[in-house]
Amino acid sequence: MTTSPNQKLYEGKAKILYSTGAANILLSVFKDDATAFNAQKRGTIQGKGAMNCTISSHLFRQLESAGIPTHFVGQLSENEMQVKAVTIIPIEVVIRNLAAGSLCKQTGLELGTLIAPPLVEFYYKNDELGDPLLTRDRLLLMKLATPDQVDQLANLALKINKILTDFFEDCGITLVDFKLEFGLDHTQQLILADEISPDTCRLWNQSETDPSRRVMDKDRFRNDLGEIESAYQLVMQRVLAHSI
């Protein structure tokens, strides 16, 4: 198959994907656009594209060195990442270490309740339906993944959670919860894709006790807490200063 370079293949809420001319390699360009509540709230976070691309690249490198297969190929500029093309499995895999967000709303659990062992949840990646929570049986009914793939997704997610929880702990940051996307590469291997950033993780600064001051992630945007750029910047500084 010939691929013509620099074709815009898809523009999402946070990134644009381009072809590169190289077989099975794409360019992911990170944008400053921010959305929340299924894109009902929109805005811009200055420098977010560059910060998320840089944070994501560093985290993918850490995960690769710990044996997790990812789509990461290289960071080309501050907001451009080269990635392996995958067919995304339309499931958002969410891992929770402390209760927050929709889990609190839907269960009544108090914000910050320790979840041990961590909870792995599957959501249908479908904006029109509002990314609903799936059960394993629904997911299989919808043929979003095979039973084997569901087990692989959960196992990989828990492994990644262990690596990232320890990594962020070293940064003085609590990894409250986060969302992962996986895909199949051209050899049908299941690999980690998309991004890992303050847009997709809840991160609490361990040097702050005040519940609104400790937030270092997109909840600052969702909940109008202000100082979003500086929070993302602090995450980037601390992440870049650590390696596993």
Ligand X SMILES: Nc1ncnc2c1ncn2[C@@H]1O[C@H](COP(=O)(O)OP(=O)(O)O)[C@@H](O)[C@H]1O
Please state, in angstroms and rounded to a whole number, the distance separating the CA atoms of residues 164 and 228: 22
Please state, in angstroms and rounded to a whole number, the distance separating the CA atoms of residues 2 and 107: 50
Q: Provide, rounded to whole angstroms, the least separation between the CB of residue 39 and ligand X.
A: 8
Nearer to ligand X by Cβ, of 22 and 111: the residue is 22
Q: Provide, rounded to whole angstroms, the least separation between the CB of residue 199 and ligand X.
A: 8
CB-side neighbour CA atoms (13 Å) of 193: 24
Nearer to Mg ion by Cβ, of 153 and 193: the residue is 193
Site residues (CB under 5 A) for Mg ion, limited to 4-63: 14
Nearer to ligand X by Cβ, of 177 and 194: the residue is 194
Binding positions for ligand X, rule: CB under 6 A: 10, 12-15, 17, 26, 71, 83-86, 88, 181, 183, 193-194
CB-side neighbour CA atoms (13 Å) of 75: 18
Nearer to Mg ion by Cβ, of 14 and 59: the residue is 14
CA distances (Å), origin 68, targets 94, 153, 162: 17, 12, 12
Q: Provide, rounded to whole angstroms, the least separation between the CB of residue 46 and ligand X.
A: 18
Per partner kind, with CB cut-offs from 5 to 8 A, the member of ligand X, Mg ion, none near residue 121 is none
List phi, psi (to 5°) of 200: -115, 0
CA distances (Å), origin 223, targets 92, 110, 132, 217: 22, 17, 21, 11
Site residues (CB under 5 A) for Mg ion, limited to 109-168: none
Site of interaction with Mg ion (CB under 5 A): 14
